[in-house]
């Protein structure tokens, strides 16, 4: 049996080596991601790698960030620094790593602001295997990474698709995006009754037993440490911006001490999160709320 | 769980070494228990709620098998047999045909202007039910015929019915072939392992490279409401012809390969059917496990060809109508089966013999045309497709555009070469099995073929398509 396994491994080794060593086209990688956030991955790549405009103050986070932070407005307010919102939808702290690596390879940010919420999500971002470089997927924590094997599978099947597109030149041609800002405004105001109902449901579900909190933090904490170390090595100041949902019962994030150990924790004025007219839904600020928050952020980050 | 998925890869990577370790202990009970657990996990991955049905069918036939063996009176034995047949067919009938019969009944009443209101139920068709009920029935029928004795080991029957390599899409095994294999542990030789891997590789190649790519063209042509020139419809039908063959035979080969790795021999289900020289020969080479099942348990009990010409034609037609309906609750399947039955009767009537190589393209053309109702969604769609096909219109540009939508130029060229090689290998397999085919070639050539298939899978697979097999819907 052992001989069989060894022979199988030797047999498939050349193809595995080919798959691992084949240099996938970087732009192509960001063009065709399955379940991409409305083509936002392509914009992200183009803004970092193709657009020569600087990125002095960079915001990373989820759709909370790309709805809430008006980087164009902040750039205008501050004047001498270019703000850039690199928020990407859905949650998963590990997505920060491939974005930060890409950002630091191409730009020289002075300040990097990471979105934090009531609690860090303890799961992998569904787009991590698409965004991440091969070595980051392979070396991702297998022990506390619940999606390690599925991320490996997704990463390499996606890479196989990219190889096919490269060889057969079958990827659709797309123009490089030149838009400098990542803010996605949300027009409209949430229905107040619906808002309160959803907030109550969410707050009920938020209670995490104390004994599990440190365990749940292990996976995201690993990535937060890594990205803050990379930022500091590149000379960038690290901030954590608290962006809870509407009417969150928590004035500070659950892991505030942890964030303060690694950087500055920014907590916006509580009234932003209590005023229903600032909200598009229970998780996302609308244009009005975004403007209020961005004014405050511009003052804090000048 | 489907074979060409990450879930199955993860499952098998864990299961196979564990299975090998258990087999080395030479304890049949533990081995069968592991197989049962693995099979239930495999099946339950789709929907765990239907494990109960699988368990019920297996348990019922286990009990009936014992009763059949113990009963001495023919009448009692017949009653037990009919209980098994009735329960299995009822299960199949309810899950697969309830809404079809209700709908047909309401439609018929409507034709006679009799308003009828009968509720349609939202019934999920359990994956593989058509396969495992037939396999389970084979057990009780063979005991009734005294061709085999029942097993007293409950675990063995559970493992036999749920055996995961062939549970959801066959081959539909016969109890006298597969069941005894659960009573002992066959030592896995290196040669067996190689044969198993060859089958799996060939199966994956057919499914992923041939079937899934042809599906892109076939689906476009068979899209309800789509309108194409005759030649395009013909090409679409031809694509489906090879798609269904590569898809289903690919699955069967993977199943046989996996089973071989586990030390089990499953029957051959396809043998180059599209190189047949007559329709009779086609049915000896296509879905062999199902056609022989219907031959042994429907055609022959009806009388076969022993009661005169009229009875022979009647039995043939009935068998093929039922075989068509087995595929699904749609009149188009009955039409497909019925047309095959009629043409087989015509072959018998004219005394047409197999063996003329010139007949191969004719048989292929006939079979290809008959796949149209099989693939169509309903009778109206079938009529529309035949209208388009026999309108005798041609547009090379339409076909070219369709082809380019599906295949970028270079990929299409590479795929066409791959398809040609596939057909050459399939022709070689007309007279021999896969491992014999490989043994005939030098080591260098064998490895060249292996790497050709692996590279094709890597470069020509459509990974963005959700994995599925056509016969899962049956």
Task: Please report the DSSP string for B71-128 in residue order.
Answer: --SHHHHHHHHHHHHHHHHHHHIIIIIHHHHHHHHHHHHHHTT-----PPP-----TT
Nearest-angstrom CA–CA distance, A260 and B128 = 57
Residue closest to A254 by CA, chosen among A301, A293, A216, A227: A216
Question: What residue spans of B93-224 are helical by DSSP H?
Answer: 98-111, 129-144, 154-162, 164-167, 175-178, 190-204, 212-221
Contact A178/B at CB under 8 A = no
For residue A90, the distance in angstroms to the closest alpha carbon of chain B comes to 21
Q: What is the mean pLDDT of residues B403-425?
A: 90
Which of A168, A169, A171 to substitute to test the interface with B, most B CBs within 10 Å? A168
Contact B216/A at CB under 8 A = no
Q: What is the mean pLDDT of residues B205-224?
A: 94
pLDDT digits (tens, 9 = 90+) for B334-385: 999 999 999 999 999 988 777 788 899 999 999 999 999 999 999 999 999 9
pLDDT over 90 (residue B163) = yes
Contact A157/B at CB under 8 A = yes
Chain A 63-102, residues with CB within 8 Å of chain B CB atoms: none
**Closest-CA residue of chain B to A2:** B17
Please enumerate in sequence order all residues whose Cβ is within 8 A of that of A237, keeping only pairs 6 or more positions apart, or say none: A110, A111, A112, A231, A263, A264
Is the Cβ pair A4, B454 closer than 8 Å?
no
Is the Cβ pair B410, A168 closer than 8 Å?
yes
pLDDT at B85: 92
User: B380 vs A220, B331, B373, B393, B472, CA distance in Å?
Assistant: 56, 11, 10, 20, 24
SS3 at position A292? helix
With beta carbons under 8 A apart, name residues in chain B contacting A1: 17, 20, 188
Nearest-angstrom CA–CA distance, B230 and B212 = 23
pLDDT band at B474 (very low <50, low <70, confident <90, very high): low
Q: What's the mean pLDDT when you consider all of chain B?
A: 90
pLDDT at A100: 97
With beta carbons under 8 A apart, name residues in chain A contacting B454: 12, 15
pLDDT at B121: 67
Q: Could you tell me if A142 and A148 are in contact, meaning their C-beta atoms sit under 8 angstroms apart?
A: yes
pLDDT at A143: 73
Contact B124/A at CB under 8 A = no
User: B454 vs A13, B14, B200, B368, CA distance in Å?
Assistant: 12, 22, 11, 29
Q: Closest partner residue to A153 among B6, B459, B461, by Cβ?
A: B6
Tokens standing for residue B333 = 């399947």
Please enumerate in sequence order all residues whose Cβ is within 8 A of that of B428, keeping only pairs 6 or more positions apart, or say none: B437
For residue B257, the distance in angstroms to the closest alpha carbon of chain A comes to 15
**Closest-CA residue of chain B to A16:** B458
Question: What residue spans of B379-430 are helical by DSSP H?
Answer: 379-389, 396-406, 409-428
Is the Cβ pair A164, B411 closer than 8 Å?
yes
Tokens standing for residue A164 = 């096919």
pLDDT at A207: 62
Which of A164, A167, A171 to substitute to test the interface with B, most B CBs within 10 Å? A164
Which of B4, B208, B261, B408 to substitute to test the interface with A, most A CBs within 10 Å? B408
Q: Could you tell me if B260 and B196 are in contact, meaning their C-beta atoms sit under 8 angstroms apart?
A: yes
Q: Which of A3-7, A162-166, B92-96, B269-273 has the highest mean pLDDT?
A: B269-273
Residue closest to B280 by CA, chosen among B173, B375, B363, B369: B363
Q: Closest partner residue to A4 among B190, B459, B463, by Cβ?
A: B190
pLDDT at A209: 57
Please give the distance of CA A203 from its chain centroid, rounded to a whole number.
23
Is the Cβ pair B455, A15 closer than 8 Å?
yes
Helix, strand, coil distribution of chain A in percent, nearest 5 = 55, 10, 40
The total of other beta-carbon atoms located within 10 Å of residue B96's CB is 21
CB pairs under 8 A between A and B: 49
Contact A9/B at CB under 8 A = no
Of the listed ranges A191-195, B16-20, B174-178, B264-268, the one predicted with least confidence = A191-195
The total of other beta-carbon atoms located within 10 Å of residue B345's CB is 18
Sheet of A83-85, strand order: A83-85, A57-60, A111-116, A237-242, A264-266
pLDDT at B329: 84
pLDDT at A137: 93
pLDDT over 70 (residue B305) = yes
Chain B 397-416, residues with CB within 8 Å of chain A CB atoms: 408, 410-411, 414
Contact A16/B at CB under 8 A = no
**Closest-CA residue of chain A to B450:** A11
- Half-sphere exposure for B383 (CA within 13 Å, toward CB): 4
**Closest-CA residue of chain B to A162:** B459
pLDDT at A24: 84
With beta carbons under 8 A apart, name residues in chain A contacting B17: 1
> Positive or negative CA dihedral for B164, B169, B175, B181?
negative
Residues of chain A with pLDDT under 70: 205-213
DSSP classification of residue A147: T
Residues A101-135: b if buried by 16+ CB within 10 A, e if exposed? bbbbeebebebbbbbbbbbbbbbbbbbbbbbbbbe
With beta carbons under 8 A apart, name residues in chain A contacting B197: 8
With beta carbons under 8 A apart, name residues in chain B contacting A3: 190
Which of B194, B411, B416 to substitute to test the interface with A, most A CBs within 10 Å? B411
Catalytic residue among B69, B307, B327, B436: B327
Q: What is the mean pLDDT of residues B3-9?
A: 86
The answer to whether ipTM exceeds 0.90 is no
Tokens standing for residue B371 = 């796949």
> How buried is A243 (Cβ within 10 angstroms: 0-12 exposed, 13-18 middle, 19+ buried)?
buried
pLDDT at A217: 82
Is the overall model pTM greater than 0.90, yes or no?
A: no
For residue A165, the distance in angstroms to the closest alpha carbon of chain B comes to 9
Chain A 207-266, residues with CB within 8 Å of chain B CB atoms: none
How are beta strands A264-266 and A237-242 bridged, if at all?
parallel
Tokens standing for residue B258 = 């996996």
pLDDT at A236: 96
Please enumerate in sequence order all residues whose Cβ is within 8 A of that of A1, keeping only pairs 6 or more positions apart, or say none: B17, B20, B188
Is B441 one of the catalytic residues? no
């Amino acid at each position: 049996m052992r001989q069989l396994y060894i022979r199988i491994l030797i047999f498939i080794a050349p193809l595995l080596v080919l798959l691992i060593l084949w240099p996938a086209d970087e732009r192509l990688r960001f063009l065709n991601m399955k379940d991409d956030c409305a083509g936002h991955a392509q914009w992200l790549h183009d803004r970092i790698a193709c657009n020569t405009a600087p990125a002095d103050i960079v915001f990373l986070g989820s759709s909370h960030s790309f709805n809430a932070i008006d980087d164009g407005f902040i750039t205008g307010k501050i004047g001498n620094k270019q703000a850039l919102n690199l928020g990407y939808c859905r949650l998963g702290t590990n997505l920060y790593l491939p974005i930060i690596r890409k950002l630091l390879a191409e730009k020289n940010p002075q300040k990097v602001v990471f979105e934090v919420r009531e609690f860090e999500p303890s799961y992998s971002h569904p787009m991590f295997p698409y965004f991440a470089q091969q070595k980051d997927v392979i070396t991702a924590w297998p022990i506390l990474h619940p999606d390690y094997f599925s991320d490996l599978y997704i990463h390499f099947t996606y890479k196989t698709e990219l190889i096919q597109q490269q060889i057969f030149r079958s990827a659709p041609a797309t123009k490089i995006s030149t838009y400098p800002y990542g803010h996605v405004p949300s027009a409209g105001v949430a229905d107040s009754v619906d808002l309160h109902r959803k907030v109550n449901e969410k707050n009920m579900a938020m209670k995490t037993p104390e004994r599990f909190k440190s365990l749940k933090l292990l996976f995201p904490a690993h990535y937060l440490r890594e990205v803050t170390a990379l930022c500091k090595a590149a000379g960038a100041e690290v901030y954590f911006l608290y962006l809870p949902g509407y009417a969150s019962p928590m004035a500070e994030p659950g892991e505030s001490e942890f964030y303060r150990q690694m950087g500055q924790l920014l907590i916006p004025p509580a009234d932003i999160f209590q005023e229903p007219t600032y909200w598009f839904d229970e998780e996302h600020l609308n244009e009005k709320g975004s403007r209020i928050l961005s004014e405050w952020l511009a003052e804090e980050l000048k | 769980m489907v074979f060409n998925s990450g879930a199955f890869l993860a499952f098998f990577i864990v299961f196979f070494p564990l299975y090998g370790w258990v087999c080395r202990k030479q304890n049949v009970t533990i081995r069968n228990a592991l197989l049962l657990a693995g099979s239930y996990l495999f099946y339950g991955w789709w929907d765990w709620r239907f494990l109960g049905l699988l368990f019920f069918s297996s348990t019922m036939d286990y009990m009936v098998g014992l009763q059949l063996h113990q009963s001495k009176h023919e009448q009692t034995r017949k009653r037990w047999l009919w209980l098994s047949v009735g329960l299995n067919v009822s299960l199949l009938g309810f899950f697969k045909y309830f809404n079809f019969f209700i709908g047909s009944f309401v439609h018929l009443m409507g034709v006679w202007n009799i308003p009828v209101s009968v509720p349609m139920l939202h019934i999920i068709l359990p994956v593989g039910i058509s396969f495992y009920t037939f396999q389970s029935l084979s057990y009780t029928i063979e005991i009734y015929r005294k061709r085999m004795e029942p097993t007293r080991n409950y675990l063995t029957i559970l493992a036999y019915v749920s055996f995961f390599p062939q549970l959801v899409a066959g081959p539909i095994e016969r109890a006298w072939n597969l069941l005894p294999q659960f009573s002992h542990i066959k030592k896995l030789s290196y040669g067996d392992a190689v044969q198993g891997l060859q089958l799996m590789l060939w199966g994956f190649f057919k499914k992923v490279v041939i079937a899934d790519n042809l599906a892109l063209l076939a689906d476009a042509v068979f899209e309800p409401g789509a309108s194409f020139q005759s030649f395009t419809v013909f090409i679409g039908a031809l694509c489906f012809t090879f798609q269904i063959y590569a898809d289903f035979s690919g699955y069967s080969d993977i199943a046989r390969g996996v089973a071989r790795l586990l030390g089990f021999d499953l029957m051959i289900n396809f043998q180059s059917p599209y190189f047949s020289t007559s329709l009779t020969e086609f049915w000896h080479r296509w879905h062999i496990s199902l056609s022989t099942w219907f031959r042994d348990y429907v055609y022959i009990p009806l009388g076969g060809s022993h009661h005169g010409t009229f009875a022979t034609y009647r039995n043939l037609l009935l068998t093929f109508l039922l075989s068509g309906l087995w595929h699904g609750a749609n009149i188009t399947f009955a039409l497909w089966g019925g047309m095959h039955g009629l043409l087989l009767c015509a072959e018998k009537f004219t005394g047409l013999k197999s063996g003329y190589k010139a007949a191969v393209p004719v048989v292929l053309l006939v079979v290809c045309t008959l796949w149209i109702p099989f693939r169509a969604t309903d009778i109206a769609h079938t009529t529309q497709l035949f209208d388009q096909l026999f309108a005798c219109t041609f547009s090379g540009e339409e076909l070219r555009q369709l082809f380019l939508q599906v295949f970028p130029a270079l990929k299409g060229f590479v795929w066409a070469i791959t398809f040609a090689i596939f057909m050459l290998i399939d022709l070689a397999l007309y007279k021999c099995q896969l491992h014999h085919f490989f043994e005939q070639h030098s080591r260098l050539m064998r490895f060249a073929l292996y790497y050709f298939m692996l590279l094709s899978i890597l470069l020509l697979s459509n990974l963005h398509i959700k994995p599925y097999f056509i016969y899962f819907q049956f």
